[in-house]
Structure 1
Amino acid sequence: MSDHDVVKIRQLAGLATPMALRVAVTLGLPDRLRGTAATAGQLAAEQRLSPIALELLLAHLATLEILEHTGGGYRTTEFGATLCTDADNGLTNFLHFDLAGGRADLAFTELLHSVTTGEAGYARKHGRDFWADLAGQPHLRESFDRQMTHRFRAQVPGIVAGFDWGRFTELVDVGGGVGTLLAAILTAHPGLRGHLVDLEPTATAAGHTFREQGLDDRALASAGSFFDPLPPGAQAYLLCDILHDWDDEHAHRVLARCVQALPADGRILVIEAVAGRKADTEFDLAMLVIFGGRERTVEEFRALGSAHGLTLDAVTDLTDQRCLLEFRVS
């Protein structure tokens, strides 16, 4: 092995830089230092931090070109402004230790436990599982909803255009978040009615989305869990980025509820990154350590559906990240 290879692996494995970025965002340093320079002493006094330790952090952020050192102290660079809260790129949610994304990523410290047991590392790290944590801390639930909306935003046009949603007259969006995708589908297909089911307060936020987009007459948002009975009789039930959050036992429970509500000629539509087709290996590990889930292969989806009397009719590549799997009653 060459010295270059050793250096490269050290760079890949090092925790100093990713943790420095996350601490900087959690402390709000990119926002605080944008346009107005400050010294480590000034910042330490403002936030009750160790001035010596903060200087070490600021110096590394300057090495990374997140900050620049001026005569008046440190200031956020144009590159560093990418980490500001108003950049609208999702990074704040992803990195901040007290928001859903950043808190979830800390579960990677329990990757060995997850690989050993096949279980999520989140509860081992934080004392309760991801969903219980969101339920117990409303600001985490709110930040998770924002994170999902942002992460999905660029995918929505391709999802709407890549499938014939107009085949149906009623669509139930199971665990549909704040309603961004369902609203886009309904807007593109005036003859379609939609019903979204999600937990509170997300369901209430979805209702606001539908009202803001003038869809009150065709879209309904109901508070509920996909582990409980779903609104029956719709032509199609949509599970978008749902099943990969769960192990097989819970995925079967979700599908069972969909099948229970499904009419004989209905369809279950699963939109996800499919392993071996669209899935990203790093994100796949995140599904494991955070939720105990994974990205499944087409054959694994086929087997999952078959256990509930479902036949996988078609797999459609919708975007560069997601596929749609269409199931019917066998």
Structure 2
Amino acid sequence: MEGRGPGARGSAGIASTFVGQWIVVGHEERDADTILRMAGLATPMALRVAVTLGLPDRLLGDGAPVADVAAELDADPVALDLLLGHLATLGLVESTPTGYRTTAFGENLRADADNRLTDLLHLDRAGGRGELAYADLLHSVRTGEAAYPRRYGRDFYTDVHDHPHLRESFDRQMTRRFRDQLPRLVAGVDWSRFATIVDVGGGAGGLLAAILEAHPAVRGHLVDLEQTAAQARRTFHDRGLDDRARVTAGSFFDPLPAGADAYLLVDVLHNWDDEHAHRILDRCAEAARPTGRVLVVEAVGGLRADTGSDLAMLVIFGGRERRLAEFRALASAHGLALDTVTEVTDQRCLLDFRFQDDLR
């Protein structure tokens, strides 16, 4: 019976408790480390600074000594070496006998990589500048307002309008974002049922041009601000669509060309709070009456939206990825009812609205 008395059981119990506590503490430490890695700002900011300085392009080939690169960039050589050391741990650059050079992985950050990363990360382009508003996310959560104006003293669109290089990078970002999804957006909807389509805030015209090319009987009319409208004119001209595509320079807060069969809003409403979204829909409904349709293409909460996009819309624009019930509520105030919902890509849905008195 040795070893089976109360004392032995007590010792075993203490040992088990100790081991159990050690395991729990181990899990807690690992969890804490994971959370710290998730929260760390060193890597995301190092990537942005590297792109802003043009390091992935400067360090191609055999690379270059840190002192030489620092002199070219007017950077502190010691601080630059610290940055490159961290980029090396990420596999973006590697150390060589002559300094640092960009790896194959790091070449994804080159300016000519054509993958949107430069525009999204560069701190002096619309995407990279906009994401810095996350530093004031607390303000947005407390107030429901965009953080961008708090950081820069003006809203995103005013900033882009007043700085041509920001407008250029934003338009380029929007064009590239849709490029891979264009075939599905064009093929996934029966656009031929509309003789005329007004693309409201249609950017450089890539989507409308693709729709017109796929449906020779359809005519299009794009509305956007002057700088972007000029790009749309070039798009239509270069693709031989001048006879079927018109462009009007203007805002979607102003009266829109009336009488079209469909008014298309692609990634527009989620950039605005409810007050402004109502103003946009009011203009669309005003122009579409009595039988036109309003078509909304964007991510929908609970269907194709992700939580990161929700926060981006909030901090940059004061908007959000709305759910179907929210879209219905917005539209009903303008006499519009949601007719159909089509999941056209893995990121976006098409919401087809028609006037409530035209439900037949």
* Contact 1:235–1:263 (8 Å) recurs in 2: no
Secondary structure of 1:86's aligned partner = coil
Query: Residue 45 of structure 2 aligns to which amino acid in structure 1?
Result: M
Separation in structure 1 between the aligned mates of residue 36 and residue 110 of structure 2, nearest angstrom? 28
Query: Residue 237 of structure 2 aligns to which amino acid in structure 1?
Result: R
Query: Residue 159 of structure 1 aligns to which amino acid in structure 2?
Result: L
Aligned residues: 330
* Contact 1:25–1:83 (8 Å) recurs in 2: yes
Query: Residue 193 of structure 2 aligns to which amino acid in structure 1?
Result: R
Task: Extract structure 1 runs of 4+ deviating beyond 3 A.
Answer: none
* 1:138 match: 164
Separation in structure 1 between the aligned mates of residue 231 and residue 62 of structure 2, nearest angstrom? 36
Separation in structure 2 between the aligned mates of residue 127 and residue 304 of structure 1, nearest angstrom? 29
Are 2:177 and 1:151 aligned? yes
* 2:103 match: 77
Secondary structure of 2:352's aligned partner = strand
Separation in structure 1 between the aligned mates of residue 120 and residue 260 of structure 2, nearest angstrom? 35
Deviation at 1:265, TM superposition (A): 1.4
Deviation at 1:47, TM superposition (A): 1.2
Are 2:287 and 1:247 aligned? no
* 1:316 match: 342
Query: Residue 142 of structure 1 aligns to which amino acid in structure 2?
Result: E
Query: Residue 294 of structure 1 aligns to which amino acid in structure 2?
Result: R
Separation in structure 1 between the aligned mates of residue 327 and residue 309 of structure 2, nearest angstrom? 18
When normalised by structure 1's length, the TM-score is 0.99
Secondary structure of 1:239's aligned partner = strand
Query: Residue 138 of structure 1 aligns to which amino acid in structure 2?
Result: P
Deviation at 1:36, TM superposition (A): 3.5
Separation in structure 2 between the aligned mates of residue 69 and residue 173 of structure 1, nearest angstrom? 50
Secondary structure of 1:2's aligned partner = helix
* 2:333 match: 307
Deviation at 1:281, TM superposition (A): 0.5
Query: Residue 274 of structure 1 aligns to which amino acid in structure 2?
Result: V
Deviation at 1:200, TM superposition (A): 1.5
Separation in structure 1 between the aligned mates of residue 84 and residue 176 of structure 2, nearest angstrom? 29
Separation in structure 1 between the aligned mates of residue 82 and residue 324 of structure 2, nearest angstrom? 48
1:18 to 44, 47, 55: 44
Please list every run of 5 or more consecutive structure 2 residues that lacks an aligned counterpart in the other structure: 1-26
Are 2:218 and 1:216 aligned? no
* 2:125 match: 99
Secondary structure of 1:173's aligned partner = strand
Separation in structure 2 between the aligned mates of residue 56 and residue 25 of structure 1, nearest angstrom? 16
* Contact 1:172–1:197 (8 Å) recurs in 2: yes
Query: Residue 287 of structure 1 aligns to which amino acid in structure 2?
Result: M
Separation in structure 1 between the aligned mates of residue 62 and residue 71 of structure 2, nearest angstrom? 16
CA RMSD of aligned residues (A): 0.7
When normalised by structure 2's length, the TM-score is 0.91
* 1:56 match: 82
* 2:224 match: 198
Separation in structure 2 between the aligned mates of residue 100 and residue 225 of structure 1, nearest angstrom? 20
Query: Residue 329 of structure 2 aligns to which amino acid in structure 1?
Result: A
Separation in structure 1 between the aligned mates of residue 289 and residue 271 of structure 2, nearest angstrom? 26
Are 2:85 and 1:27 aligned? no
Separation in structure 2 between the aligned mates of residue 32 and residue 44 of structure 1, nearest angstrom? 11
Please list every run of 5 or more consecutive structure 1 residues that lacks an aligned counterpart in the other structure: none
Are 2:167 and 1:121 aligned? no
Are 2:313 and 1:287 aligned? yes
Separation in structure 2 between the aligned mates of residue 32 and residue 180 of structure 1, nearest angstrom? 32
Separation in structure 2 between the aligned mates of residue 45 and residue 272 of structure 1, nearest angstrom? 46
Query: Residue 301 of structure 2 aligns to which amino acid in structure 1?
Result: A
Separation in structure 1 between the aligned mates of residue 60 and residue 234 of structure 2, nearest angstrom? 34
Are 2:328 and 1:298 aligned? no
Separation in structure 2 between the aligned mates of residue 155 and residue 303 of structure 1, nearest angstrom? 28
* 2:200 match: 174
Deviation at 1:243, TM superposition (A): 0.1
Secondary structure of 1:132's aligned partner = helix
Deviation at 1:52, TM superposition (A): 0.7
Deviation at 1:83, TM superposition (A): 0.2
Which residues of 2 match residues 258-297 of structure 1 at below 5 A?
A: 258-297=284-323
Identity %: 65
Deviation at 1:2, TM superposition (A): 2.5
* Contact 1:235–1:262 (8 Å) recurs in 2: yes
Larger radius of gyration: 2
Separation in structure 1 between the aligned mates of residue 198 and residue 158 of structure 2, nearest angstrom? 25
Deviation at 1:37, TM superposition (A): 1.0
Separation in structure 1 between the aligned mates of residue 330 and residue 320 of structure 2, nearest angstrom? 13
Separation in structure 2 between the aligned mates of residue 70 and residue 239 of structure 1, nearest angstrom? 51
